[in-house]
Amino acid sequence: MTSPSNVLRFASQQNVDCRACHLSSLCLPQGLSLEEIAELNDIAQPLAMLRKNEALFLQGMPFTSLFAVRSGSLKQVTTTETDEYLVTSFFLPGEMVGLDAIGEKSYPGSAVALETTTVCELPFERLDDLCASLPELRRRFHRNLSQEVHNERLMLRLLLRRTADVRLACFFFAMSERFRRRGYSPYRFRLAMSRGEIGNYLGLTVETVSRVLARYQQQGLLDIHGRDFHILDLERLSRLTEASGRRGAAG
């Protein structure tokens, strides 16, 4: 249980132009006018840099900003009242961190870098103001939030009634899609998280993750070397994903 050592060390020496944040690669600004994007960029803060195990924010810190991942990756973890350590999300480049904090006064979990990671900050106060004047942004923003609700709900509800095999297939398929959407190869990628973190995220033990991966490897579905994954048969993986669960039934 490696607790994050430091918090949010801004690389303030490199006073990067806001546009370096490449907000345009985020889903939020799609469909906005150039002027609107410019306005949005204006509120974005310079890049911040995190090293492995450093936290972008800690659970319970007052909510002030959303963050866009520029490079690297993070996990979000929540510690429950019963001292359970739950990995609730992973964030890849181009994705938005902190959406689930908007309603709260404070962040509901800690965002911890899985490797060297850069992010840019979007002060929520200003984003909120901007929403008032830019209807398209507001709509985009609502859509983003809402899809988050929807995805999580369906995803987890499906996971709930899936075997370990299928859960992992879903995980890799989803990861593949996320890489594809951002313009990376959907077939080959490196995931910075450990087996334990994947297991935690999916509600499985390390041992089970390891065993299932071994089986996949031996079936020629994936080629795995440490944390480098190579999807050999995406088609079959996708079919596995759809294998119907076993639990629960009618309505």
Partner DNA sequence: CGCAGGATTGATTTCGATCAACTGGAGTGG
Partner DNA sequence: CCACTCCAGTTGATCGAAATCAATCCTGCG
Contacts with DNA, residue ranges (CB under 7 A): 2, 162-165, 194-196, 203-211, 213-214, 224, 226-227, 246-250
Binds a copy of itself by CB under 8 A, chosen from 9, 51, 161, 230: 161
Q: State how far the Cα of 164 lies from the Cα of 238, in Å rounded to an integer.
A: 15
For a copy of itself, the closer of residues 4 and 94 by Cβ is 4
Q: Of a copy of itself, DNA, none, which one sits near residue 116, judging by CB under 5 to 8 A according to partner kind?
A: none
138 binds a copy of itself (CB under 8 A): yes
9 neighbors 48 (Cβ within 8 angstroms) = yes
Smallest separation (angstroms) from DNA to the CB of 155: 16
78 binds a copy of itself (CB under 8 A): yes
205 binds a copy of itself (CB under 8 A): yes
Smallest separation (angstroms) from DNA to the CB of 49: 19
104 binds a copy of itself (CB under 8 A): yes
For a copy of itself, the closer of residues 214 and 243 by Cβ is 243
Q: Of DNA, a copy of itself, none, which one sits near residue 145, judging by CB under 5 to 8 A according to partner kind?
A: a copy of itself
Smallest separation (angstroms) from a copy of itself to the CB of 89: 8
Binding region for a copy of itself (CB under 8 A): 1-2, 75, 77-78, 80-89, 99-104, 108, 128, 131-132, 135, 138-139, 142-150, 152-154, 156-161, 196-197, 199-200, 202-206, 242-245, 247-251
